[in-house]
Amino acid sequence: MKRGRFTTGVLLWLAAAVAATLVGMTAVAAIGTDIFGGGQDPLSQSEVDDLLSSRPAPTSAPPTTSTAAPPPAAQQLRTDTAGGTVISRCAANGLVEVLSAVPAQGFRLDSDDGGLDDHPSVKFEADEHEVEVRLRCVDGVPVPEVRTDD
């Protein structure tokens, strides 16, 4: 009696394995086809050309009448110090603009003149350290002076 149950169990397991394999193979074969079984064939070059020619041409922007050249972009300067990083640029009339001041780990931003100034400074402080970045413009380029106090 036990032998008959064992044989039945093995046959049922084999039937389930065969069914699962067939379902998996059918699913893999169906990838890339629509629900009715037909896949989409790639378009030929002439079909692509026909589709592109049937679309309206893109509209172009009206021509501009301005002949003035755009102003040159201000050169940015990144100053890395032990206390942090300062990004600045020279603006109009030789003024310096501090774009960002990010303290390094363990430091905090003590002061930032910010805005436009002829000689702005940024100070980073830690427990016993201070780093000051003073900036000025020379020929349209920011020039940093870094001072460190321990």
Where do the domains of the chain lie? 1-29, 76-149
Handedness of CA 31, 36, 38, 42 (dihedral sign): negative
32-64, pLDDT tens digit by residue? 565 555 556 777 888 878 877 777 766 655 555
The phi, psi pair for 37, rounded to 5°, reads: 100, -10
Q: What integer pLDDT is reported at residue 108 of this predicted model?
A: 92
Q: How far apart are CA 100 and CA 78, in angstroms?
A: 9
Q: Which of 74, 130, 125, 70 is nearest to 98 (CA)?
A: 74
Q: Is there a contact between 75 and 135 (Cβ–Cβ < 8 Å)? A: no
Q: Which of 91, 74, 84, 139 is nearest to 112 (CA)?
A: 84
Q: Which residue has the higher pLDDT, 49 or 78?
A: 78
Q: Which residue has the higher pLDDT, 18 or 94?
A: 18
Contacts of 89 (CB under 8 A, 6+ apart): 74, 75, 76, 77, 96, 97, 99, 142
Mean pLDDT of the chain: 80
Q: Which pTM was predicted? A: 0.50
Beta partners for residue 117, in sequence order: 96
Which of helix, strand or coil describes residue 29? helix
- Of the pLDDT bands very low, low, confident and very high (cuts 50, 70, 90), residue 112 is low
